[in-house]
Amino acid sequence: MLDLFADESPWQEPLADGAVILRRFSRAQADELLAQIAHVARHSPFRQMVTPGGYTMSVAMTNCGERGWTTNQYGYLYSPDDPLTGQPWPAMPQAFRALSDAASAAAGYPGFSPDACLINRYVPGAKLSLHQDKDEPNLQQPIVSVSLGLPAVFQFGGLKRNDHLQKVMLEHGDVVVWGGASRLFYHGILPLKPGQHAATGEARYNLTFRSTSKSE
């Protein structure tokens, strides 16, 4: 299908205090990002993690960087090793790091240095329930989230689960950055609708960059 907006330049869309959507920010790098996702997945395959409560997540995940987000029967944690392979997570590709650096600076968070990148793969029906990103020891650092492939509805709320939710469509190449006053805002992804994307087929990928280092 013809993309009537393919030639539009990136632009910023305010989301909340401390949060912004960088529309189409990563579109020019998308092919390289997807190639690097495939490289990471060859070493640490996608898997559907099981929460401490026994719920199998509908989103398939893997990680790269110094540490990766994972689960066990005790809770959620960042681990230097992939529990599936017993080996360290793949190194973060330079293309990932360069994009995170540029996006965080554009959003007003210069100096952000992530050491973990959670990679999510959505297929039709997959979702991510409302949650807070609070497993990181230094909540002064922002979150950088990159969307690739099929569009998805992103929910962004407040500090309480029942706060009003904004629902915004995220498309191929969009980047969301949040920190500061909105760092612990609840957010999630509604069930992915069926579709076909030229770059990813029937899937959506999401890169989420985080800092797991303690504050100095």
**Domain 11-210 has what CATH class?**
mainly beta
Q: What is the mean pLDDT of residues 34-39?
A: 98
What is the reported pTM?
0.94
* Annotated domain spans of the chain: 11-210
Predicted confidence (pLDDT) at residue 9 exceeds the cutoff of 90: no
Structure tokens at 140: 């002064």
For residue range 132-165, what is the model confidence (pLDDT) as tens digits?
999 999 999 999 999 999 999 999 999 999 999 9
Q: What is the mean pLDDT of residues 34-62?
A: 95
More confident residue, 52 or 88: 88
Indicate the SS3 state at residue 77: strand
